[in-house]
Structure 1
């Protein structure tokens, strides 16, 4: 008995362990879209590698000026090639949510409906809700991993100068929309929106065209209201206007058309006040004196608000994504096939 027990134990110990692997519906959906998934992950890996390489070059350049303790602005004299590359890469990364929505989201459901695969799958005791949930979950996971990793890589590349270089406007879509949680939220919205459009139109090519329009509209609306996520801060001075407006804090983004005039009573006047009285400096000064102008008023967004604005914007985008997801399930349970 002991020998048999030892032998059984030896056989049990010698049995190779099965590695984690996909099976069932998960395997089927991954296999259906594996070309797109692997392409996304491969592009992500290449992008991370390139940004890591460019960051190393940036750090080498800044080290020559004492980085991480930059005591002067001399480093900005030769920084233009680095800033141009940052803006160029940020510009192209901004198209990622649109591309993911068109080439991943739109065909996700429409492709199966058009080819008749949906009826085949649902005919094997697979519920509609489970099928949709698995589709969206796997696609969403790939989107979160890819966009999140690229966002972290770009943020790491930009971070050595993010608070120091005023030429890199952090409110620009080339920086704001490709760092933090924003690219993840934008991509999820366009992908889920594309899946919903594909489910309604049931034709892949038409769904891709419609999703492109949807994604562009999302980007336009987002860029229009991006700055509204912040809380403006007002900088004032009562030292006269001869020396010009006061300097903004490092990394601040000025709002409006520029500095406004401020009267001794606290009233804000347009910078165009007395613009017709500029024939001579004396006439212009007399006009400002008559209006009781004694300083400047400027509205701006400090760099410190960037992270809060990004998370607030991402929360709004994710709420919209959740609403579209609920619609997909409600519609799909009754009218999927």
Structure 2
């Protein structure tokens, strides 16, 4: 089994203003409700069914919306495109009612058929979506994705009418609603996909400015490679009246040093890329500009346990006991990370792993 190392945290620098080129523009950008964000590396694409990275996720979350969202504080499922849902007594049948005012950015209504079409696309073996497993709890979804079933009508997702979607699961899955908050399960606009290629064709031009049709709170305005991606408020979004921002500018920046400097000099409102040697300085000198929050991610070693000596559980246990996770978080990473003794972070939606985890004990490890 892998040795767990650290529980990751989300580290952000937040400046409650924004700008284009420097401090003189900060108040102007804020007054215009324009947010400037450091976004890590250049996104590979903006197709919800094919991308896997955090930079892509950040932008897709602005451009698209799924059936469900989650409360950021409690992770409780919240209505999104689906205004309500019913769960059968056996926990295997979900009936979603879509909002009458849920529209695509071109004005087309978002329909239950759009979700059926999109889930068939996401599960298509030809598309090879790395997140296809997000829907494997749906009846026959895994078999279809693995090519064992050719007829998608046998997969447990049906449009009863334009605003009613029924999903049948293989087994009761209490966390199914939370899965639907992941961007890989979002619907895409079928006519737009087909205008630039086949349903299961990846990497076409449908995700480019002027082509992309989404259903999220923002629309794609411009994409200047390796410079900036600009999104603007979507007037067709069902909840557009509560969207405060007029624009978001995402800056693809490969270097954490560069991104932190852009934040420090007033080019960015916020960054999640902070060099470790800068953290202490912010905590001491600018504590109001730094926020350290829990993040669901675990760093670990993945070991080949079929080869000697790692095929011996006693060796693996000794290795795990020899790692001082607390010392690593206190003296090396210094970013508020939490030592991880189980793969699932503590208090994940109320779940705590048992107390049989392996703690640091060098003397015992040597035995």
TM-score (norm 1): 0.21
Work out which of the two has the higher radius of gyration on C-alpha atoms and give 1 or 2. 1
The answer to which structure, 1 or 2, has the higher relative contact order (CA under 8 A, 6+ apart) is 2
TM-score (norm 2): 0.20
Where is the strand percentage greater, Structure 1 or Structure 2? 2
Where is the helix percentage greater, Structure 1 or Structure 2? 1
